[in-house]
Structure 1
Amino acid sequence: MAGSSDAQLQIKLVTKQSTYAVPDIPYSVPSEIVCGELNSLVNELLTETHGGAVVEFDFLVGGELLRTHLSEHLSERQVSAEEVVLVEYVERFPAPEPQDCLEHDDWVSATQASGEWILSGSYDSTLHLWSRKGTHLLTIPGHTGAVKAVAWVETADKICSFVSASQDQTAMIWQWNQTSNSVECVHVLRGHDRGLECLAVDPTRTYIATAGWDKVIHLWSTVEGLSEGESFPKKIKFDSKVILQQLFIGLKKKIIFCILQSPLMSFQGHKEAISAVQWSEEGEMISASWDHTIKTWDAELGGIKVEIVGNKSFFDLSWSPLTRTAITASADRHVRLYDPRSTEGTLVKSTFTSHTEWVQCVKWSTTSEYHFISGSYDKQVKLWDTRSPKAPLFDMSGHQDKVLCCDWSNPELILSGSSDNSLRIFKSQHVL
């Protein structure tokens, strides 16, 4: 093992992946050893004890991934090099592989995957259904403004439902019959005074939250029959079965015959456009706004539970139920990790800096507590590990213009939509 310095450090190699465990003894290594050299050392030890193919590892020292030589890493984090240094190694996250580029007629501003299917929304007011292999299944007209958000509601074997939100001030619930490959609009959610920017379906697929430029969050039911003025349970019970009534929609004429719904509840408090809304806990929502604030709402009682004030407009927010933390996209080129319930110092736990222009969208992995993606006006989609705030794991290049939306709802697929009129699909090799 060669390093650029004669100085030596004592390290102990540890891992939570028992398959790759090496003898629990101190090893003497050059102080300026880097990740590649540590990787060679571990593989040499594994060959002696286990045999087998070479495995790529990353290394954690003091809770952060090693990205410089070891002595510099220890110095920056004020970790003593006088004692044995614990170096944890984990199997390296494999690089996502480009899979498809799905062309649209206008900017791609919304997307979400579910199982075998992909949904996308465009500035030309249309929705599109695709297979995960990139086959185009349907073009769906109906909105009269840019589609800014989409989400799956139910994905049954033959009948699926999804919701879309548009700058035309409405959200629509749709039902897709896979057998006939036909789509019907079953509900129009009308109540906003200005264009919509975001929506979220609760974990039980019973409630939908929508928000946008009128600064209000509206709460709707996917269950037929509930409307404003009717009795609404003070305690939201997350066990209701979604019932959607099939009605006729004349797609070719763009004449929609569906049920008009009124919101069940409305939440006011933001002073500028709301850019993101998510269900964070049972009976709780979290929203981000151009007014520089993040608010946590009690969806049962209607009040604000927590308010976080930032120093820039928020363009997107993604909540992780695995870590109960949120990541945000902002106008200052940074992605931030917030812990709304933190009682120890600042609520900002990490800042991730690599993008060179506005960060427009962020999305947590649904299976990993450490990984998320971000998309920016700099045309880049980046995959991050929260243990490496100074540098992303990977840059997923390919877009020719600003990235407007991204999605990682299906652990196997990373999606990004752009003002270059394309939806790009990367295959994620790391599925827990």
Structure 2
Amino acid sequence: MSDKDHKQLTTQVQIRLTTRQQKYRIGAEDAVLLMVPTHLRRFNLSEIVNHLLNNEKKVPFDFIIAGKFLRSSLSEYLEKHSISTENTIEIEYVLSSMPPKQTSSMDNEDWIAAIAGPALTTSIATACYDGNVRLWSQTGACIAVLKKHERSVKSIAWLSGNSKSSKLISGGEDQTVFAWEYDSSKKTTRVAFECIGHKGSVDGLSVNETKTHFASASFDSIVKIWTSSTNDDTVHSQQHEQSELASKRKRLADSEVLLKDCIQNLEAHVGPVTSVAFSKVAGEVNTLFSGGADHSVRIWNIETGKNLHSMSCEKVVLAIDHSANSNLIVTGHTDNYVRLWDPRDQNGLVVKMKLVSHKSWVPAVSCSPTSPFALATGSYDSSIKVWDVRSTTPLHTLSAAEDGKKKVLALVWEDGCLFSGGEEGKLRVHDMQVETE
């Protein structure tokens, strides 16, 4: 045994163990002080926590020091960061999650730009660059192809749904938003209405909690707010003057399609608006978040049409999501960063946290529906990363394509699964379970 190995086996350091997970707290104290050998690794520390908890059935834990998961021995960590063993090391332990396991994949005929998961209905929807929307059963069968858009479909969201029928909205490069009705018993689809008024590609759609309103984000720099109803004065027949892009094709063939006007234009972004997300906090039906090419994240009240707050960063915002569990906004960017914002903190309106690991643009982000700490991100670097935001290093990294060279463009975390798609054209489904808090 070398002197170095002997030193690691005999040297000890004091650690203070803490957790935010009440279920796994050791005793009544907020922290537990221990003297442990510095050669210990994650597995050894996990054994200690299980012993202190008197767990008959061992459960795995991860350990966070100074905002990063411990992936070495304590001695290696101390040496790397020039920390003396005379210091007390603060260590937070969290329940470890298993790596996501792919359960199925579904072949689309072109790139997948957006995905609507099955939480509201039993179907999964994909928006594709070939101009089509595809509906999938959870067994992997394509149950419908919705053809109406003239160019790539870039955004998609469910308006309503159950096992028998559902309503879906889709937006695309043809500057239109269509609302579709699907009858699962009859296997039929129809266009319920078409939203008119955008002058640029519609790259973002979001529906509020009560399903009464939805928002569309466009490259024309405007966010439009629409009602989901077909029984109000925003719906009319096709007597309006037709724009150049709203071409002859569908007007003559589908004269029964109703047209719909927006109820509000939200104008503050300078340049394309790439993404929108309604607040997922119960009761906040009028709060909307948007991100754009002007490097800003904006908070809106859709009832008044006011831009309540604006938050800025260094690069273009490509994607946005909101967590109902933590109330944080998550954004993906062209500098390869993932940023977290707290909409409740109006003192500085600055980024709360940056997550750095992707090697290329991040056009897809999705928060865990059950955990305040977990989120997933997809990148042009062909990877999906799962994060626990108590650490700035990713918890898991998945290859999103067989050759590892295809861009990830869409990502949705719903119903215990991670749904992803992009340049490869495959809708991939991963089992994704995390501890709820």
What TM-score comes out, normalization by structure 2 length?
0.85
User: What residue in structure 2 maps to residue 110 of structure 1?
Assistant: 114
Counting only pairs closer than 5 Å after superposition, residues 179-328 of structure 1 correspond to structure 2 as 179-228=185-234, 255=254, 257-280=256-279, 281-328=284-331
Letter in 2 for 1:412: G
Aligned-partner SS, 2:320: strand
Counting only pairs closer than 5 Å after superposition, residues 92-107 of structure 1 correspond to structure 2 as 92-107=96-111
The farther-off stretch of 277-286 and 73-82 is: 73-82
Indicate conservation of the 8 Å contact 2:291/2:297, yes or no. yes
How far apart are residue 168 of structure 1 and its match? Answer: 1.1
Change (3 A) 1:191 1:416: same
The farther-off stretch of 107-116 and 87-96 is: 87-96
For residues 74 and 350 of structure 1, what CA distance do their matches in structure 2 show?
Answer: 24
Counting only pairs closer than 5 Å after superposition, residues 128-143 of structure 1 correspond to structure 2 as 128-143=134-149
- For 2:151, which of 145, 149, 165 is the aligned residue? 145
How far apart are residue 257 of structure 1 and its match? Answer: 2.9
How far apart are residue 125 of structure 1 and its match? Answer: 0.7
How far apart are residue 85 of structure 1 and its match? Answer: 4.9
Indicate conservation of the 8 Å contact 2:235/2:258, yes or no. no
- For 1:177, which of 172, 183, 201 is the aligned residue? 183
Letter in 1 for 2:399: S
User: What residue in structure 1 maps to residue 387 of structure 2?
Assistant: 384
For residues 344 and 2 of structure 1, what CA distance do their matches in structure 2 show?
Answer: 52
Corresponding position: 1:395 with 2:397: yes
Change (3 A) 1:282 1:398: closer
Aligned-partner SS, 2:289: strand
Indicate conservation of the 8 Å contact 1:226/1:264, yes or no. no
User: What residue in structure 2 maps to residue 374 of structure 1?
Assistant: 377
The farther-off stretch of 79-88 and 7-16 is: 79-88
Aligned-partner SS, 2:200: coil
User: What residue in structure 2 maps to residue 37 of structure 1?
Assistant: 44
- For 2:59, which of 38, 44, 55 is the aligned residue? 55
Indicate conservation of the 8 Å contact 1:114/1:155, yes or no. no
How far apart are residue 78 of structure 1 and its match? Answer: 11
Aligned-partner SS, 1:40: helix
Structure 2: gaps of 5 or more residues: 237-248
Counting only pairs closer than 5 Å after superposition, residues 21-32 of structure 1 correspond to structure 2 as 26-31=33-38
Structure 1: gaps of 5 or more residues: 231-249
Corresponding position: 1:91 with 2:98: no
For residues 92 and 149 of structure 2, what CA distance do their matches in structure 1 show?
Answer: 52
How far apart are residue 350 of structure 1 and its match? Answer: 1.2
For residues 259 and 183 of structure 1, what CA distance do their matches in structure 2 show?
Answer: 15
Letter in 1 for 2:411: C
How far apart are residue 12 of structure 1 and its match? Answer: 4.6
User: What residue in structure 2 maps to residue 420 of structure 1?
Assistant: 424
Letter in 2 for 1:135: A
Change (3 A) 1:374 1:50: closer
Aligned-partner SS, 2:195: strand
For residues 343 and 221 of structure 1, what CA distance do their matches in structure 2 show?
Answer: 30
How far apart are residue 65 of structure 1 and its match? Answer: 3.8
For residues 211 and 146 of structure 2, what CA distance do their matches in structure 1 show?
Answer: 22
Indicate conservation of the 8 Å contact 1:3/1:33, yes or no. no
How far apart are residue 59 of structure 1 and its match? Answer: 2.0
How far apart are residue 363 of structure 1 and its match? Answer: 1.0
Change (3 A) 1:118 1:256: farther
- Share of identical aligned residues, percent? 28
Letter in 2 for 1:59: F
For residues 256 and 382 of structure 1, what CA distance do their matches in structure 2 show?
Answer: 46
Letter in 2 for 1:276: S
Indicate conservation of the 8 Å contact 2:195/2:261, yes or no. yes
Change (3 A) 1:228 1:327: same
Q: Deviations over 1:191-235 (max 9, x none)?
A: 1012211111011001010111111111111112334599xxxxx
How far apart are residue 20 of structure 1 and its match? Answer: 4.9
Change (3 A) 1:98 1:343: same
Q: CA RMSD in A?
A: 3.0
- For 1:123, which of 112, 129, 132 is the aligned residue? 129
Indicate conservation of the 8 Å contact 1:100/1:134, yes or no. yes
What TM-score comes out, normalization by structure 1 length?
0.85
For residues 2 and 270 of structure 1, what CA distance do their matches in structure 2 show?
Answer: 62
Letter in 2 for 1:146: S
Corresponding position: 1:332 with 2:338: no
How far apart are residue 345 of structure 1 and its match? Answer: 5.5
Change (3 A) 1:30 1:111: same
Change (3 A) 1:277 1:76: farther
